[in-house]
Amino acid sequence: MSAPEKSKQNKPETADAPKKSITGKIFNIQHFCVDDGPGIRTTVFLKGCPLRCAWCHNPEGLSSETQLMFYAEKCVSCGKCAVLCPNKAHTVTEDGRHLLDRTKCTACGICAENCFYGALEIAGREITAEEAVEEVMKDEPFYTDGGGVTLSGGEPLFQADFTAEILRLCKQKGLHTCVETSGFAKREQFEKVLRYTDMLLFDIKETDGELHKKFTGVGLEQIMDNLRLADSCDRVKTVLRLPSVPGYNLRPEHFEAVAELAGGLKNVIEIHIEPYHPLGVEKYGNLGLDPPCKDKNFADKAELEKIREHMQLLTDVPIKIN
């Protein structure tokens, strides 16, 4: 080891030494959310997810890269973007068609800032944990009924250090903290986040390992290990969330297995059946992607109610349809 490194290593840490800000990438901060945990909440959506669930309704959270979204129905073909783009990614043809060559786009955001019709939007921005918390604290007066902050995505565990830092700062300010997660992360990453989490909104997408891999691209083992780890920590309460998607996981055996799973855990306080909705299908197109699940129908609530009733016979944990 060289001399300068040695002296740096031996330098005593002081309590008031400025802590370096942790930066991460988000694609939205949504205010006044009522479905992302108890009370009224502010939800921070983080970029990047290691899963590829066929039914994902937040496809702008999948990639960790900043992306340009294009809403064709809002475009009036004014041509401003074609003039301003430094990479000539936009073209407006003589017959008024707007064309976007995404291979040329570096997501600089110039076109989105200058499109007066809202046809272009950038998904993804760098932000420090402090800046995220400052935004969350604007809603503090509304958190009195058990509300607080929820981190969602994407997958918050994908940026575990950033997620943990936002949660730590929120806990310092006395906020209730929720993390909406697939549970897929290395144990060390999960532990970092768990330390500052009051409640997990933990997705159980499939209980059959092979089907889980087929539908999401990853196995179940790590997810179940992390679920058990969370459950061993009595301070953390867990809501199991079941995305319920026709043509994928609406199998009676799956729901029965979730009931059995919940019965073996001590800190699961509720099970939520989350009916499939097709609102993400359009968003894939806005990103220039092909949706893996093209079903544009909403899930049949009557069918899900029957599933709920059957499940409720198998477990004491309250089950509701969201």
Contacts to ligand SF4 by CB under 6 A: 68, 75-81, 85, 87, 89-90, 92, 98, 105-111, 115, 117, 119-120
Instruction: Tell me how far CA of residue 116 lies from CA of 11, 55, 76, 260, in angstroms.
Output: 54, 32, 10, 53
Residues 70, 156: Cα–Cα separation, whole Å: 25
Nearer residue to ligand SF4 within complex by CB, 50 or 288:
288
Nearer residue to ligand SF4 within complex by CB, 111 or 199:
111
In order, the DSSP letters of 203-237 are: E---SSHHHHHHHHSS-SHHHHHHHHHHHT-TT-E
CB 44 → ligand SF4: shortest distance, Å?
Answer: 23
Nearer residue to ligand SF4 within complex by CB, 108 or 314:
108
CB 123 → ligand SF4: shortest distance, Å?
Answer: 11
Radius of gyration of the chain (CA): 22
CB 112 → ligand SF4: shortest distance, Å?
Answer: 6
CB 59 → ligand SF4: shortest distance, Å?
Answer: 18
Check if the beta carbon of residue 288 is closer than 8 Å to that of residue 70. yes
Which residue type occupies 64?
S
Residues 218, 205: Cα–Cα separation, whole Å: 11
CB 283 → ligand SF4: shortest distance, Å?
Answer: 17
Residues 45, 149: Cα–Cα separation, whole Å: 11
